[in-house]
Chain A
Amino acid sequence: MIATRNRVIFRALPTSKPLVARHDVGVSQPPTPDPDWVADFRATHGRDPNEQDWQDYLLSLRYPGTGPNGEWLERDWQVYYRLVDLLGGDLLSRIGKPGGHGTGFYSGIGAFLALWKLEPGPDGTRIAYARNFPAGGIPPNTTGWTWGNTILILESERNNRPLLMHEYTHVLQYRYKGIGYVPNYLKGGVYNWDNNPYEMQGVEVQQIYEWNPWLPPIWEIVWVGGRSQ
């Protein structure tokens, strides 16, 4: 079994299976999959589940799907896997990790632009809900701007969940690429969003959340790798 970075907190959830594990950042001790779930999984998929299947199942216990009682339907899993495949292991493996010095350098510039008026955001990010220049730190005509782990969002977009997921996708990209992120982004084409790989990911994530408001936030995905359908 693949070792995880997580500490396990056991708690009861409102499901038929009374004891499940929720992962939190910390020590490595993977939970033991529920034998009933393993049997169900084998019957449905015709193969043994792996550690990632178990983590995905635990996620489905933490957030409701679109079924009548909040269960995840087959089409919910399809949407979830579309999101997972779109982000890929390179980005998903950055969840829960702040990134290196390069990311920290960009985060600092973001904090400076926000004049350090930052609120704690999810997964180690810091968010400034600001106004456009010159009143605030966001360029004119701009809604969201990400610098490392620092996200600047227009004050009027505070409730815009798909936009936050777009910007958080950029956070994971920064953590993956480090100091090389900005040069790589510019190479992808600033106005060429049809081909810029970073924005292609961003806009698609945004659309997935626009159409599927039930989806858990990206930072709730526990990635141990090895997804297989």
Chain B
Amino acid sequence: MGAGKIARGLVVAAFLVIAAGILAACDTNYDLVIENHTDQRIAVTLYDRLVYELQPCSVQIASIAGPGTPSGKGFRVSVRGGDGATLAQAEVQPQRLEGYTQPVILVRIPQEGGDACPAPVEGVFLLVVRNYSQTEATIWLGDARLGTVAPLDQTAFGPLPGTWADVKRVAIRDASNTLISYSARAEYSLGDIPRFFIGFTAPRARQ
């Protein structure tokens, strides 16, 4: 076999591996938004294993990974009431919604016979930052310096104008100005100002 044929074979093999790999370990992030408009506690399950428990009249927002290329398949979601009875099971298709940077898996559980809860507050939020590290950190929202959070402490900033999409604009820096990565999720009652929680850690300081 000539060198040209071998080279061509290798290129074809490489493309086949890449084509297969495009589908493997390839993740898309979605915003999971669960609104419980009922007067009972509920539990929402995705992938038969991720469980989100919600108080009556409350909202939770989280990020969740899913298939990276369009499969046309929705997310199988099941909803249980406080008594454990299944209220609903559905395939939820992600959708683009204003106020979110990622496709949204919207799970809204209505109350039969009319909404039991106050209307959601929109366009404003509280940023609750929990510092699990033992050094002070500075919190930025885009170009705006919000302030500092003491070691092992929590500070609420705001109310600030904006939506869940603004959480992506948060930057946390330690004393040496190094960026610290963080976790974010939201949990609040309908009718209250949305509370977006951010938490981060770092190794204990040497003495």
How far is it, in angstroms, between the C-alpha of A144 and the C-alpha of B63 when the chains are bound?
A: 13
Contact B201 A213 (CB under 8 A): yes
Tell me the chain B residues, 153-207 only, with Cβ under 8 Å from chain A. Answer: 168, 170-172, 179-185, 198-207
Residue of A nearest to B132 (CB): A214
Contact B67 A63 (CB under 8 A): no
Is the CB of A147 closer than 8 A to any CB of chain B?
Answer: yes
Contact B62 A210 (CB under 8 A): yes
Contact A64 B204 (CB under 8 A): yes
Residue of B nearest to A204 (CB): B49
Residue of B nearest to A147 (CB): B21
Contact B68 A161 (CB under 8 A): no
Min CB distance A169 to B, Å, is 9
Contact B47 A203 (CB under 8 A): yes
Is the CB of A6 closer than 8 A to any CB of chain B?
Answer: no
Min CB distance B1 to A, Å, is 22
Given A63-B204, A182-B21, A213-B49 contact (CB < 8 Å): no
Give the A interface residue count (CB, 8 A).
64
Is the CB of A37 closer than 8 A to any CB of chain B?
Answer: no
Min CB distance B78 to A, Å, is 11
Interface readout for A108-129 with B: 1 if CB under 8 Å, 0 if not? 0100010000000000000000
Chain A to chain B contacts (Cβ below 8 Å), 26 pairs: A13-B206, A62-B203, A64-B134, A64-B201, A70-B132, A106-B21, A139-B68, A142-B28, A143-B28, A143-B29, A144-B65, A146-B25, A163-B63, A166-B65, A181-B24, A185-B23, A186-B23, A191-B71, A194-B76, A206-B63, A207-B64, A210-B183, A210-B184, A211-B183, A213-B198, A214-B201
Please list the residues of chain B having a beta carbon within 8 angstroms of any beta carbon in chain A. 14, 17-18, 20-29, 47-50, 62-71, 73, 76, 101-103, 130, 132-134, 152, 168, 170-172, 179-185, 198-207
Ranked 4 nearest A-B pairs via Cβ = A213-B199, A191-B71, A214-B132, A213-B183
* Given A61-B204, A190-B67, 12 other A-B residues pairs in contact with their CB atoms under 8 A: A64-B134, A68-B152, A109-B17, A143-B29, A167-B25, A182-B21, A182-B24, A185-B23, A198-B25, A204-B49, A207-B64, A213-B182
Please list the residues of chain A having a beta carbon within 8 angstroms of any beta carbon in chain B. 11-14, 61-64, 66, 68-70, 106, 109, 113, 139-147, 156-164, 166-167, 170, 173-174, 181-183, 185-186, 190-191, 193-194, 198-200, 202-204, 206-207, 209-216, 220
